[in-house]
C-alpha cells in the first residue's frame, strides 16, 4: 500500500483502442493556398508554450517529448495505437505482475551512443527520486511499479523499487498489481534520458547546445514559452518495417495564437485548431477554407460539475442537485451556442463507449424537478439564494455555454446563478482537484478526458475527484474539517501534536519521534485490520504487492537512525511526519496521511467509501469489460446524486494546408497536435 496519497493516486493500467483514425476527412485544398511549408520542407505548428522539455513534468512539452524528440519502448502510430518502438519484445509472468522487455540494439542517441536499458532505468528512477518532488509520478510507468510511490515518499529504498536492469538491453518491471504497462510506456514520463547530459546540465539539458535525444528530431533552438525549432536527427534509427518519420526537415513550434484562423490565412501557421463557434461558422461559409477542414475524434467531454465548495448551501440537499440536473436541455446548447461543433450526450462517452452503454442518465423532466425542489423545502426556488457557475476566463465557448445553462435553470426552477470566469489554473484546480479556497456553492463547467490510451479512463474522469477527500458525498461539517488538510501548509492539529516541520531543530532527538512512532503503530493496526476486512477485489487492490505499512515505517525510522548529521535527522523526521500527516501538494491536491486515512474510514459514509473502492477497482482493471463495469458504477452513482452531469462530446476541428500531410491531433489530455515526427510535405 502506498505511503502517499491514498485518494490522489491515478493508476490506469491497460490499452484502449480508439475508434476512428487520427485524421478524419482528408479534403483536397486549393493549390493557390500556399503554406509556410514550401520547398524548404518547414512546417509551422501551433501548440502550448513550453518552459522545458523535461518529460517528468505534466505540461505542454509532453506533446513533443513522447515520440518526436524522445522515443520510448513503445509509442503511438499514425492511428493513435500503442506500438513497439525501442522494445524488441515483451514477456509477462506471474499473471501480469512481472514484465521483461528486450531492447533493439540498433537504436542510437543523437550523439551516436547506443540506447540501452540503463537509459530507461536512469530516467524512471529520476521521476521517482524523492528529491524530484514535483515530478508527475502518476503520468509514468513508474506509477505502476512495486514500491515506486513508497520510494518517492521516502518510505522505501531505491533497491526496493520494482525496476531492474538484467543486462544492457533487457529491463524488468515488477508491478504493484497485475497490469499491462505498455500503454504507459508510450507516454512522456516513460521516455529514456541521456544521463551524462542531464546530470551535466540539470537545469537546461534540453537547450540545443546540451540536448541529446533519441527521437526522429533534435532541438535546433528553444525559447521558453516561445518558438521551438526542431530538425531531423541524422543519427536516428527507427524500427524496421514500420513508418517512423515523414519527410519534413524542420518543424517550427509556435505558441498557440489567439486568432488561429487569421494566422492560418496569413500563412503564419500550417495547421489551426478551431474552438470558437464563430471561427467555425466563418470557415464553413468560405469554400476555400472549408475544403481544408478536418475532424478527428477526441476522448473529451464537457460536463457540469458540483464545485465542492466548503460553504454549506442548498446544494447539500441531493434533491436540489437532482432538480438542477433534470432541467438541462443539451441539444439547443449544441445547436445554437456551439453551432453544431459537438455532440449532445447524457452519458459519459460516445455510443460505442463500453461504460456509456451501462450508464443510467437522469432524464429531462421539468415537472419532476420542480416537485423535487418543493420536497427539499425550496418551492419555486425560494430560499436557495444565488449560486455560482464557474468557467475558464478567456474561453468564449465555456462562457457562452455557462450563459445558456444559467438561462435554462432560471427559467425552469427560478434559481439564479452568477457566472464567474476564473484564471485557467484555478479553474483546472476545481476540475481535477479537491477543495478550493474561496469557491462559493455552485457548479463548474468541467472537461473530462483520457490522459492516454487506457481502458481505465472509461469513466471519462467523472470520478476524478473521488481521489480527493471532501469532494463528493461529504456533509458541510465534514468538508469544513477536511479543509484543514488543504488550506494549511501542514495540518495545524498535527503541528501542535508532533512539532513544526519547518523548525530545523525538530527531529534531531528520538524524543521528537515518540508520539509519531506511537501514532504510526496505532494507524498501522487500524488500517491493516480495516483493509483485511474488505471484500475482494478491493482488499488485494488496497494492500498491493509492495512493502507493508510496518515495513514502510521501519524504513523511515532506519533512515533517521542512519542519518549522519542533525540536518539529515531532521529531514528523516519530516518524511515520517508527512507519512502520518496531511498537507497540500499544489493544484488543490492533498497528501492524505495515515492519520487522515484512519479518520476517513471512521467517518465517511459507506456509500462514499464504496464509490472510492469502485474507482480504485476501475484504476486497476485489466479488461475493458471490468473497466466498463466499475466505471459505470462510479458514473451512475455520481449522476444519480447530481454531482456530475454530462453535456456534450467534443471533437477536434482543424485546418491543414493542402501540401501538409499526416497531421495528427492529440485525442488525449492536452489535445493540440502531437506525433509531429510523422508530418509530410509535398
The string of pLDDT tens digits covering residues 466-524 is: 999 999 999 999 999 999 999 999 999 999 999 999 999 999 999 999 999 999 999 99
| Spatial CB neighbours of 597, under 8 Å, sequence gap ≥ 6 | 6, 523, 527
Asked if residue 17 has pLDDT above 60, the reply is: no
Tell me if residue 85 falls in helix, strand or coil.
coil
- Taking CA atoms, 587 is separated from 83, 486, 498, in Å, by 33, 10, 26
Query: Which grid coordinates are listed for 364?
Result: 429531462
List of E strands, 571-658: 583-586, 589-591, 644-656
Determine the Cα angle at 457 with ends 453 and 459, to 5°.
155
Cβ-contact 617, 506 below 8 angstroms: no
How much is the mean pLDDT over the chain? 93
Q: What is the largest CA-CA distance in the chain?
A: 80
Judge whether residue 34 has pLDDT over 80: no
Distance CA 216, CA 70 (A): 8
CA–CA dist 365, 224 (Å, integer): 51
271, pLDDT greater than 70: yes
Strand order in the sheet with 228-232: 42-47, 250-255, 228-232, 217-222
Question: Minimal CA–CA distance to 84: which of 189, 212, 214, 238?
Answer: 238
User: So what's the pLDDT on residue 133?
Assistant: 87
The C-alpha atoms of residue 632 and residue 614 are separated, in whole angstroms, by 9
**pLDDT of 40 strictly over 90:** no
Given a cut of 60, is residue 20 above it in pLDDT? Answer: no
| pLDDT band, very low/low/confident/very high, at 550 (cuts 50, 70, 90) | very high
Domain annotation for the chain: domains and CATH numbers = 42-291+657-681 (3.40.190.10), 295-474+605-650 (3.10.105.10), 483-603 (no CATH)
Q: What is the pLDDT of residues 563-613, one digit of tens each?
A: 999 999 999 999 999 999 999 999 999 999 999 999 999 999 999 999 999
DSSP of 511-571? GGGHHHHHHHHHHHHHHHHHHHTSPTTHHHHHH-SS--HHHHHHHHHHHHHT--SHHHHHH
Q: What is the SS3 assignment for 371?
A: helix
Cβ 249 vs Cβ 42: under 8 Å: yes
Distance CA 171, CA 120 (A): 8
DSSP string, 578-601: HHHS-EEEETTEEE--HHHHHHHH
Give 297 or 387, the one with higher predicted confidence. 387
Burial class (CB in 10 A: 0-12, 13-18, 19+), 367: exposed
Residue 188 has pLDDT above 70, yes or no: yes
Q: Are 676 and 45 in contact (CB under 8 A)?
A: yes
- What confidence tens digit (pLDDT) does each residue in 371-424 have? 999 999 999 999 999 999 999 999 999 999 999 999 999 999 999 999 999 999
DSSP string, 406-426: HHHHHHHH---EEEEEE-HHH
Lowest mean pLDDT among 28-32, 99-103, 370-374, 434-438: 28-32
Q: Is the pLDDT of residue 130 over 80?
A: yes
- Per-residue pLDDT tens over the stretch 320-354: 999 999 999 999 999 999 999 999 999 999 999 99
Q: At 293, is the secondary structure helix, strand, or coil? A: strand
Contact 172, 101 (CB under 8 A): yes
Helix (H) or strand (E) holding 277: helix 277-284
Q: Are 498 and 603 in contact (CB under 8 A)?
A: no
**The pTM of the whole model exceeds 0.85:** yes
Q: Closest Cα to residue 468, out of 436, 422, 492?
A: 436
C-alpha cell recorded at residue 96: 501480469
In the DSSP assignment, the letter for residue 654 is E
Amino acid at each position: 500500500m502506498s505511503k502517499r496519497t491514498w485518494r490522489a493516486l491515478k493508476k490506469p493500467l491497460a490499452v484502449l483502442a480508439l475508434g476512428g483514425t487520427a485524421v478524419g476527412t482528408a479534403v483536397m485544398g486549393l493549390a493557390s493556398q500556399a503554406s509556410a511549408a514550401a520547398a524548404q520542407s518547414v512546417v509551422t505548428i501551433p501548440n502550448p508554450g513550453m518552459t522545458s522539455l523535461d518529460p517528468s513534468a505534466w505540461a505542454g512539452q509532453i506533446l513533443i517529448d513522447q515520440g518526436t524528440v524522445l522515443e520510448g519502448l513503445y509509442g503511438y502510430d499514425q492511428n493513435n495505437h500503442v506500438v513497439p518502438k525501442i522494445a524488441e519484445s515483451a514477456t509477462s509472468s506471474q499473471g501480469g505482475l512481472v514484465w521483461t522487455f528486450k531492447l533493439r540494439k540498433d537504436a542510437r542517441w543523437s550523439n551516436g551512443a547506443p540506447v540501452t536499458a540503463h537509459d530507461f532505468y536512469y530516467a524512471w528512477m529520476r521521476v521517482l527520486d524523492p528529491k524530484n518532488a514535483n515530478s508527475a509520478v502518476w503520468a509514468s510507468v513508474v506509477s505502476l511499479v512495486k514500491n515506486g510511490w513508497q520510494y518517492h515518499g521516502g518510505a522505501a529504498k531505491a533497491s526496493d523499487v520494482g525496476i531492474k536492469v538484467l543486462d544492457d538491453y533487457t529491463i524488468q518491471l515488477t508491478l504493484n498489481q497485475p497490469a499491462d504497462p505498455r500503454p504507459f510506456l508510450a507516454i512522456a514520463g516513460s521516455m529514456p534520458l541521456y544521463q551524462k547530459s542531464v546530470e551535466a546540465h540539470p537545469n537546461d539539458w534540453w537547450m540545443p547546445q546540451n540536448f541529446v535525444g533519441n527521437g526522429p528530431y533534435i532541438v535546433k533552438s528553444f525559447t521558453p514559452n516561445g518558438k521551438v525549432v526542431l530538425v531531423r536527427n541524422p543519427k536516428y534509427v527507427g524500427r524496421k518495417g514500420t513508418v517512423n518519420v515523414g519527410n519534413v526537415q524542420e518543424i517550427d513550434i509556435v505558441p498557440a495564437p489567439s486568432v488561429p484562423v487569421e494566422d492560418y490565412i496569413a500563412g503564419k501557421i500550417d495547421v489551426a485548431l478551431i474552438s470558437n463557434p464563430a471561427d467555425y461558422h466563418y470557415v464553413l461559409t468560405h469554400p476555400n477554407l472549408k475544403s481544408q477542414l478536418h475532424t478527428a475524434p477526441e476522448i473529451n467531454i464537457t460536463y457540469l460539475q458540483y464545485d465542492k465548495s466548503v460553504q454549506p448551501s442548498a446544494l447539500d440537499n441531493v434533491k436540489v442537485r437532482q432538480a438542477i440536473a433534470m432541467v438541462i436541455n443539451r441539444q439547443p446548447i449544441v445547436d445554437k451556442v456551439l453551432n453544431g461543433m459537438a455532440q449532445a450526450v447524457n452519458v459519459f462517452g460516445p455510443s460505442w463507449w463500453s461504460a456509456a452503454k451501462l450508464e443510467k442518465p437522469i432524464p429531462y423532466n421539468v415537472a419532476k424537478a420542480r416537485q423535487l425542489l418543493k420536497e427539499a423545502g425550496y418551492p419555486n426556488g425560494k430560499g436557495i439564494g444565488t449560486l455560482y457557475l464557474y468557467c475558464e476566463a478567456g474561453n468564449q465557448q465555456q462562457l457562452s455555454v455557462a450563459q445558456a445553462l444559467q438561462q435554462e435553470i432560471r427559467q425552469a426552477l427560478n434559481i439564479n446563478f452568477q457566472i464567474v470566469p476564473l484564471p485557467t489554473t484555478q479553474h483546472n484546480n476545481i476540475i481535477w482537484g479537491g477543495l478550493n479556497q474561496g469557491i462559493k456553492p455552485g457548479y463548474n463547467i468541467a472537461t473530462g478526458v483520457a490522459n492516454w490510451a487506457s481502458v481505465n479512463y472509461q469513466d471519462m474522469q467523472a470520478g476524478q475527484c473521488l481521489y480527493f477527500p471532501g469532494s463528493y458525498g461529504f456533509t458541510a461539517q465534514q468538508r469544513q474539517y477536511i479543509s484543514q488538510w488543504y488550506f494549511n501548509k501542514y495540518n495545524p492539529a498535527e503541528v501542535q501534536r508532533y512539532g513544526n516541520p519547518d523548525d530545523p531543530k525538530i527531529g534531531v532527538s528520538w524524543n521528537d519521534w515518540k508520539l509519531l512512532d506511537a501514532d504510526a503503530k496505532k494507524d498501522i493496526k487500524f488500517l491493516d485490520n480495516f483493509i483485511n476486512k474488505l471484500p475482494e477485489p478491493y482488499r488485494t487492490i488496497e494492500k498491493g504487492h509492495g512493502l507493508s505499512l510496518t515495513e514502510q515505517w521501519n524504513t523511515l525510522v532506519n533512515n533517521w537512525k542512519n542519518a549522519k548529521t542533525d540536518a539529515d535527522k531532521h529531514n528523516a523526521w519530516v518524511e515520517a511526519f508527512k507519512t502520518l500527516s496531511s498537507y497540500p501538494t499544489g493544484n488543490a491536491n492533498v497528501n492524505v496521511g495515515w492519520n487522515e486515512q484512519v479518520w476517513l474510514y471512521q467517518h465517511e459514509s459507506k456509500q462514499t467509501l464504496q464509490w472510492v473502492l469502485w474507482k480504485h477497482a476501475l484504476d486497476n482493471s485489466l479488461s475493458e469489460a471490468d473497466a466498463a463495469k466499475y466505471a459505470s458504477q462510479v458514473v451512475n452513482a455520481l449522476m444519480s446524486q447530481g454531482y456530475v452531469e454530462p453535456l456534450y462530446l467534443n471533437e477536434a476541428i482543424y485546418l491543414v494546408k493542402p501540401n501538409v500531410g499526416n497531421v495528427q491531433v492529440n485525442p488525449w489530455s492536452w489535445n493540440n497536435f502531437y506525433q509531429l515526427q510523422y508530418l509530410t510535405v509535398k
